[in-house]
Amino acid sequence: MLTQRKKTFSKRSRTGCRTCRARRVKCDETPVACLKCTGSGRTCDGYDRHRLAPAGGRRKTGDTTPIFTIPANLARKLQWNVTSDERRCLSFFQHRSVQHLVGLYDSFLWQQVIFRLCCKEPAVYHAVVALGAVNQANELTGCIPRPGQSTTHLQNTWYRFALEQSGRSVALLNKRRMSQDPQLQETILVCCLLFIICELLHGNRNRADFHLKGGLRILQMMKLRRQSSGLQLCPAAIVDGPSGAPVAVEDCVVETFLKFQESSVYFGTDDPLDFDSQFVFNQPYDNYLLPFHSLEHAKQVLKPLTQANCIFTAVYLKASDSDLQKYYASLQHQQVLLLSYFHKFLWQFERFCAQEYTSTPTDGVLRKEEREAELIKLACRQGIMAAKVALYNKSDPWPASLCLECESLIAASEAAMSKFGGQYPAVTAETGIMPALVLSIFRCPDYGIRCRGIEAIRSWQSEEGFLSAVLSADIMEEGMKKELRWLYDSGAPWPRGVTFVAHGGRVTARVLYWVGAFEKQQCLVLERNESLIAELAAIETAKDWSCVKAWGLMDEQF
């Protein structure tokens, strides 16, 4: 009778070098470079300082958590050693992160260009892996770290792994610093975009702002402009590289930087990339506001207009009342043009939508293209409102006549949010909902409308570039509390829908507001939110934000 031999199992080492792990052979783990690699003539890629926990063995019955894998065609294109941990993060980026990044609008960058560069540029590859790791860490913890919490969250293995991957990407870029490769600039710019998103997901706005400014400085030197026909970026976006060879950058890379700049304008823009203002103001832009033949055509026409309005808003936010008076004539001329162009665009676009999208789905959730159309309408209405209020004195409240427009813009935002069926993107470089809500709340004279807008922001829970829903809602609420406290202390007449209750030395404001046919109430304890102030103190530029300065949120007294 034959004796049945038992198969022996040995625990796989998780501390081998990257090369041996990629080859799936046992590493001798010699410090610096293993002998298994050097003895066979291979290059030892060294050791990872941080390893991810094993993915686990068999799946439990009923476990529906998706298992992500890298498609074979993508894996074959990678020409360097890839570890199992990197595979996990790369597949997570492809299957989950990209879904969020294109949650508002489709993007040629995130759906096409990024994978092409990922397969040919190791620096881009490691930056993508880092983003996948941070994104997965946030899904596991269920939240994005708040400002100032990044050090605490570095105790998480996923964050430490992401930091190491980002370091590898930076090291590879530094090695090529003196390279004559004409594609280096595009590689650096794409890595900058990936680093920006990584840092925003990690709650580190200081580093995100650093990478944004670095990328914009590179683009500033390219003397960008748009073609008068087609509105695409001109060949002037191609500049001479170190060797005299042309340096080309994909349009979608430049447009993504402009989108990040657009979301950061509310927090100050020192030296914005601006080539669209001249394009819009120095020629009859009406020539482009003709009937649209596709959604992409409409989006292309709106881009320069949105960017010109962004720069116009940035000027207003930074200027004092005396500056506005000094340059009022030229600014008003730009204001009139912007309002005219936005109104004409909206009229043409609504005609286009009426022809293209005639049926409404029974479940209320629109197709992706129809959702994009709703967001375009909202962006246009927000642009009209932003241009309209841009020249109001900052020391004066908005007139009560604007309350209805603020409420209408909030209602339009809520309607656009409802089209997503509760599936909101966690993070995206695009702006969709947040600018309209923030603008409607900032200086609206009706506190009930403000409460409704803050509630809408909290329900959105997305990171639209530098516009964080959670942080923006807290700032808007804190500013409203400070105004209400001043009204209570000064003995001024109570605003409509607001009552104050004092008990035990604490003052609470009760604000009534309506959402459709439903009456709601928000109770605000009029005390300083110390956690929010600590978060703002952790952001280097927060003290200069227009909203923080307007309300004096970082002053000693509440």
Q: Which of 395, 411, 437 is the last residue of a domain?
A: 395
CATH classification of the domain holding 38: 4.10.240
Domain membership of residue 77 (yes or no) is no
Same domain, 116 and 224: yes
Work out the end-to-end distance of the chain between its first and last CA atoms, rounded to an integer number of angstroms: 88
For position 55, what pLDDT does the model report?
55
Domain membership of residue 59 (yes or no) is no
Q: Name, in order, each residue with C-beta under 8 angstroms of 365's C-beta and a sequence gap of 6 or more.
A: 419, 420, 421
Which backbone phi and psi does 213 adopt, to 5 degrees?
-65, -35
For position 241, what pLDDT does the model report?
47
> Which secondary-structure segment (H or E) carries 463?
strand 463-464
Quote the CA–CA distance of 376 and 491 in Å, as a whole number.
44
Domain membership of residue 68 (yes or no) is no
Domain membership of residue 97 (yes or no) is yes
Same domain, 93 and 160: yes
Q: pTM, whole model, 2 decimals?
A: 0.85
User: pLDDT by residue for the chain (558 residues), tens digit each?
Assistant: 445 554 444 444 556 776 776 677 777 666 667 777 777 777 777 666 655 656 544 444 443 334 555 555 666 677 778 888 888 899 899 989 999 999 999 999 999 999 999 989 999 999 999 999 999 888 888 888 888 776 555 567 888 899 999 999 999 999 988 877 778 889 999 999 999 999 999 889 999 999 999 999 999 888 888 887 767 776 544 444 444 555 578 899 999 999 999 998 777 667 889 999 989 998 889 999 999 999 999 999 999 999 999 999 888 888 888 888 899 999 999 999 999 999 999 999 999 999 988 766 655 556 888 999 999 999 999 999 999 999 998 877 789 999 999 999 999 999 999 988 888 888 899 999 999 999 999 999 999 999 999 999 999 989 999 999 999 999 999 999 999 999 999 999 999 999 999 988 899 999 999 888 889 999 999 999 999 999 999 998 898 888 898 899 988 766
Per the CB < 8 A criterion, the answer to whether 396 and 226 are in contact is no
Same domain, 309 and 419: no
For position 9, what pLDDT does the model report?
41
Give the CA distances from residue 97 to residues 35, 100, 121, in Å, rounded to whole numbers and listed in that order: 38, 5, 19
Quote the CA–CA distance of 19 and 165 in Å, as a whole number.
16
Quote the CA–CA distance of 524 and 175 in Å, as a whole number.
54
Same domain, 45 and 191: no
For position 457, what pLDDT does the model report?
96
Same domain, 435 and 548: yes
Same domain, 420 and 278: no
Same domain, 381 and 520: no
Which domain covers residue 199, as residue numbers?
87-237+247-271
Q: Name, in order, each residue with C-beta under 8 angstroms of 111's C-beta and a sequence gap of 6 or more.
A: 98, 102
Quote the CA–CA distance of 174 and 172 in Å, as a whole number.
5
Domain membership of residue 313 (yes or no) is yes
For position 381, what pLDDT does the model report?
97
Tokens read off for 189: 């710019």
Domain membership of residue 169 (yes or no) is yes
- Single-letter code of the amino acid located at 222: M
Domain membership of residue 29 (yes or no) is yes
Same domain, 374 and 455: no
Q: Which of 256, 271, 286 is the last residue of a domain?
A: 271
Quote the CA–CA distance of 192 and 196 in Å, as a whole number.
6
Same domain, 387 and 316: yes
Q: Which of 330, 363, 395 is the last residue of a domain?
A: 395
Same domain, 516 and 415: yes
The C-alpha R_g of the chain, in whole angstroms, comes to: 26
Could you give the number of structural domains in the chain?
4
Which H, E and C letters describe 409-425, residue by residue? HHHHHHHHHHCCCCCCC
Per the CB < 8 A criterion, the answer to whether 188 and 450 are in contact is no
Domain membership of residue 490 (yes or no) is yes
For position 530, what pLDDT does the model report?
94
Q: Is the dihedral of CA 120, 122, 123, 125 positive or negative?
A: positive
> Which secondary-structure segment (H or E) carries 199?
helix 184-201
Per the CB < 8 A criterion, the answer to whether 503 and 533 are in contact is no
Same domain, 198 and 106: yes
Same domain, 439 and 386: no
